[in-house]
Amino acid sequence: MELNADFDARTVVHSANVEWQPSPMKGVDRRMLDRIGGEVARATTIVRFAADSQFSAHTHDGGEEFIVLDGVFQDDYGDFPAGTYVRNPPTTSHTPGSKPGCTIFVKLWQFDPDDRNQFHKTMTDELGASVDGVATAELHRDAREVVTYHHIDANTAFDSTDAGGIELLVIGGSIVENGETLGQGAWLRLPPDAPLSAVAGVEGAKVWMKTGHLRSVTPPTV
């Protein structure tokens, strides 16, 4: 399966308008944003766990990173409430689920194969002081990518010229980019060397962003 697999094109998905699709596990549904592969895939997805649902134990050969958007995500490593950013590198394993239910934004098979840096962070705890109306938290940095979280004041410019591709998820509020309003749940991917030029809406915006990671994109080797 290939979905939004042209990484040289600007891509936007307003996820709130995408129908939920059932996963192989009862009680776990998903909204696919991009995908290369079948059930084992290089994928970016919004996943919804119903209350008392659970995936079977599995190993992430290609790594997994996710943000808890609502509810509480639970696995062998603990309970992660909304606003938590988690990186589970290649070779890690767990049994994910949620007693109260939750929704996560998750990226699979997009790690450096040698990455072994497993951690989680509360994104708001990492925010620095606001600079020109934008408060920034650096969540992760390595030679291939930078992951950040931002609180942007109302009607404030939000720009980036980072090479290697730009990807963002609007977690709250809205931004306007390329004349298009991106509200809560909107996902934007810009190709390498394409700059980001956006403005937050009247309520401001909360945005997760990753840059530098689209220089080379390959599907997983199964």
Whether pLDDT at 130 is above 60 = yes
Whether pLDDT at 222 is above 60 = no
What does the pLDDT read at residue 221? Answer: 63
What does the pLDDT read at residue 35? Answer: 95
pLDDT digit string (tens) for 162-189? Answer: 989 999 999 999 999 999 999 999 999 9
pLDDT digit string (tens) for 11-51? Answer: 999 999 999 999 989 999 999 999 999 878 899 999 999 99
Strand partners, 138: 148
Phi, psi angle pair for 194, to nearest 5°: -95, 120
What does the pLDDT read at residue 38? Answer: 85
One-letter amino acid at 125 equals D
pLDDT band for position 56 (cuts 50, 70, 90): confident
pLDDT digit string (tens) for 71-117? Answer: 999 999 999 999 999 999 999 999 999 999 999 999 999 998 899 99
One-letter amino acid at 220 equals P
What does the pLDDT read at residue 105? Answer: 98
Q: Quick count: other Cβ atoms within 10 Å of Cβ 79?
A: 14
Domains belonging to the chain, first-starting first, are 18-121 (2.60.120.10), 123-211 (2.60.120.10)
